A and B are shown apart, each in its own frame.
Chain A
């Protein structure tokens, strides 16, 4: 039986980030991954010859540059390429494009409304102001208001000070922003349906809420606070697909002497006398360590891997009620040629960005209505990208990989489990939507990977296939994420920590939960974190 200083449950990006920092700080660390490959929801797999898919997550912005630098990810092969805007296709055969050039963007909006074109700057300023407030909180452990430790008090004071730098007017704006629906928020700036629909998308992605549900404005912020090389709000492609992020992490980890065990599913986290002693694998092997860090979501960790009687009742109750609802699916498509969208001018840069077909908030809300009824949306909204327009490594020349994020998609179909027939019908809904804007689309399809919440949960392990390991609503953020009193990566069991997206600051391929968790663990071990640089300044 092997003994490590620390075991990481799950080889997703956060697990690997924690693993890297701990290993580099002198601990002997092993990552235990149930699949035959690492990556979690940030993977690139070749499921059909000649095509690499970004199987789950598909674009990159939130991943913290501090982590890329600390862990030498560029040296281990990570490249992130900024992409170029995008478009929403409208039902009347036109489109609304998004351009990187500021004035082109304004003129494009002006095609629909001169007022909205000029309102965009005000909107961007207000969202950027909110980002500037939230960004410094990402790389800090949320203060625990239940504790009176000096550090928590000083962190609370930091939060209060950040907030105090706001004028009363801005404070009011922040509270509104964190609690409003994205639809109401956008109504305060814009009048055009398609413009609002375009901007609302980030407010509901991955979330089991509609654009008219309170709290969705914050979700938009969560998607806006990333960056590509200092360009805040920009999105990019990881060269080689999102698996390039976790592959670079894995190489960095192994280069530091860490051990990765694939096909090593953890079936139980051992707890004896309130203290963890290691894990049991699905094959019955026991692996011992005084530290176990779970990157699995909080429900999977505490409701499946830990014996309930080892946990306080109220904690279990809270975990059971942590909102982590499946709301999205994914269709990955291998294409033998670049699809045509006749609405777009030839050579349009929109093809190199994200494309959508939902041209009004009302359609989005109707799509959500289907989800509430336990069905996938008959008119879903798609976030569609073709990374191979910029990344030559994912398919051979002329061939393309298309990633379609699809919402809404319920965890169960009208209360029963998904069947293969359901999955195929879901895929057909998606393909027929694309085909109605892109003649000949079906004929180009070489292969498809269709993922409903069932497939995502079974393969990646995300409960209900929720991509954020818990919704990003204000009741589940900061010191309430995932459970009040346990927001600092520690759990009720001594030596068992959490480092996944269920923890502050939440989901997306950000790595911040993994890094913050490592900092807390090292603090408990009274070790100075090696190679953990300070969070970048917001200036």
Chain B
């Protein structure tokens, strides 16, 4: 046995104790634990993550009124490097990666050979030949198999990299007071690195809230010092740590979709009719037919040409104020037209909003006379309501401060 294999075996042995902590703690767990007043945890991809820390409703207002700190470490992360990294990612994903400059981020998606969406995510270009892909589900075999013939190195780095989302109107003020000089120059989707302790932190002007906001990535060992740096600077800016419940409200207002909540990923679907093409989940704008060949291209363009797309994702505004979560959508109150995948009463828009997946021609040809059937459990009795729904563009909430550069401080 040579030295190399021995150390691999030792590493493997050292990792055996993972079973002692089946819900892994994120690099920020100590801080979250200390702040958690309600002990409301959930399982995010095998990590213990807060659903709320003190009060979901108030946490939401931290996003929209001050600054909210949300731990995104469980998000799956892949590092893609090498001479062919750009060409490889261009073949893999829907958007033109050649147009993604160094230190820029874009939202994208990738498909199997049949044009069915495997996942959506954000692609960070950290260098000419260096990228980070962040997503909800795990895709290492797919990424490695797709690399055949490309000079590229693909590494899963979820556990090694800690991530924080800092979102809200005072988020830039927090960064500034934490001493990150130059963040005011970041435009939406810009990335820059800043010194932190003896290393660096990567900060991008991105987020899942549709508000002014940033995402910060550091190696695991620097997680707590980064948290403390932001937390201390944030005290005068009413920073609050938040859980997923609040974030989910903000993302629905912004009209963002979540894999395996608003659509079923192609690798997860057991039933053949559950898979979706980009055009069926509102991602048609990501597809760039003019760029070089990419996976799923022919299937997607064929479906467009032959008009065989079966579904469509729409934003709905529903009368009344009762959220229509998982309600059935009807046409003329009679024909089943689809399903609501996410719905809230929007505190910011003061409207009852929803994201729905409809079966074409509903939503494409028939866009009027849509209704949702809401079953509201009220003191052990369903109150059944048929409410009128109107297709409206997403985002439901559009905030000027999201894109203003230089960013505001409050």
Whether A111 pairs with B270 at a CB distance below 8 angstroms is: no
Whether B272 pairs with A166 at a CB distance below 8 angstroms is: yes
Neighbour of A114 across the interface among B19, B20, B156, B267, CB < 8 A = B156
Return the CB mask of A88-121 against B: 1 if under 8 Å, else 0: 0000101001010111101110111011011101
| A345 and B19 contact, Cβ closer than 8 Å, known pairs A125-B267, A167-B272, A170-B272 | yes
Chain B residue nearest to A170 in the complex (CB):
B272
Whether A106 pairs with B140 at a CB distance below 8 angstroms is: no
Q: Return chain A residues, CB-CB under 8 Å to B114.
A: 169
| A103 and B22 contact, Cβ closer than 8 Å, known pairs A94-B13, A115-B144 | yes
- Which A148-172 residues have C-beta < 8 A from chain B? 165-167, 169-170
Query: Is A318 at the interface (CB under 8 A from chain B)?
Result: no
> In the assembled complex, how far is the CB of residue B273 from the closest CB belonging to chain A, in whole angstroms?
9
Query: Is B141 at the interface (CB under 8 A from chain A)?
Result: yes
| A99 and B45 contact, Cβ closer than 8 Å, known pairs A166-B272, A167-B272, A189-B141 | no
Complex Cα–Cα for A440 and B342 (A): 59
Return the CB mask of A408-426 against B: 1 if under 8 Å, else 0: 0000000000000000000
> In the assembled complex, how far is the CB of residue A437 from the closest CB belonging to chain B, in whole angstroms?
16
Chain A residue nearest to B138 in the complex (CB):
A118
Chain A residue nearest to B113 in the complex (CB):
A169
> In the assembled complex, how far is the CB of residue A90 from the closest CB belonging to chain B, in whole angstroms?
9
Chain A residue nearest to B15 in the complex (CB):
A111
Whether A111 pairs with B12 at a CB distance below 8 angstroms is: yes
Query: Is B9 at the interface (CB under 8 A from chain A)?
Result: yes
| A345 and B16 contact, Cβ closer than 8 Å, known pairs A115-B144, A118-B139 | yes
Q: Return chain A residues, CB-CB under 8 Å to B12.
A: 94, 111-112
Neighbour of B18 across the interface among A92, A102, A108, A118, CB < 8 A = A108
Query: Is B268 at the interface (CB under 8 A from chain A)?
Result: yes
Query: Is A473 at the interface (CB under 8 A from chain B)?
Result: no
Query: Is B289 at the interface (CB under 8 A from chain A)?
Result: no
> In the assembled complex, how far is the CB of residue B49 from the closest CB belonging to chain A, in whole angstroms?
12
> In the assembled complex, how far is the CB of residue B267 from the closest CB belonging to chain A, in whole angstroms?
6
Q: Is the interface of A mostly helix, strand, loop or mixed?
A: helix
> In the assembled complex, how far is the CB of residue A537 from the closest CB belonging to chain B, in whole angstroms?
13
Query: Is A129 at the interface (CB under 8 A from chain B)?
Result: yes
Complex Cα–Cα for A121 and B137 (A): 10
Query: Is B24 at the interface (CB under 8 A from chain A)?
Result: yes
- Which B118-144 residues have C-beta < 8 A from chain A? 138-141, 144
Whether B24 pairs with A103 at a CB distance below 8 angstroms is: yes
Whether B19 pairs with A125 at a CB distance below 8 angstroms is: no
Whether B270 pairs with A115 at a CB distance below 8 angstroms is: no
Query: Is A132 at the interface (CB under 8 A from chain B)?
Result: yes
> In the assembled complex, how far is the CB of residue A169 from the closest CB belonging to chain B, in whole angstroms?
7
| A118 and B272 contact, Cβ closer than 8 Å, known pairs A107-B18, A345-B16 | no
> In the assembled complex, how far is the CB of residue A414 from the closest CB belonging to chain B, in whole angstroms?
38
Whether A103 pairs with B46 at a CB distance below 8 angstroms is: yes
Whether B141 pairs with A119 at a CB distance below 8 angstroms is: yes
Complex Cα–Cα for A170 and B273 (A): 12
Query: Is A128 at the interface (CB under 8 A from chain B)?
Result: yes
Q: Return chain B residues, CB-CB under 8 Å to A117.
A: 140
Q: Return chain B residues, CB-CB under 8 Å to A104.
A: 18-19, 22, 46
Whether B24 pairs with A92 at a CB distance below 8 angstroms is: no
Query: Is B17 at the interface (CB under 8 A from chain A)?
Result: yes
Return the CB mask of B1-15 against A: 1 if under 8 Å, else 0: 000000001001101
Whether B46 pairs with A107 at a CB distance below 8 angstroms is: yes
Q: Return chain A residues, CB-CB under 8 Å to B267.
A: 121-122, 125
> In the assembled complex, how far is the CB of residue B147 from the closest CB belonging to chain A, in whole angstroms?
11
Neighbour of A122 across the interface among B22, B43, B141, CB < 8 A = B141
Beyond the given A103-B24, A106-B46, please list 4 additional residue pairs across the A-B interface where CB-CB is below 8 A.
A107-B24, A111-B12, A121-B267, A166-B272
Which residue numbers of A lie inside 8 Å of B, CB to CB? 92, 94, 97, 99, 101-104, 106-108, 110-112, 114-115, 117-119, 121-122, 125, 128-129, 132, 165-167, 169-170, 189, 345, 348-349
Can you list 18 pairs linking A and B with CB atoms under 8 Å apart? A103-B23, A103-B43, A106-B46, A106-B138, A107-B24, A107-B46, A108-B19, A111-B15, A115-B140, A118-B139, A122-B141, A125-B267, A165-B272, A166-B272, A167-B272, A170-B272, A189-B141, A345-B17
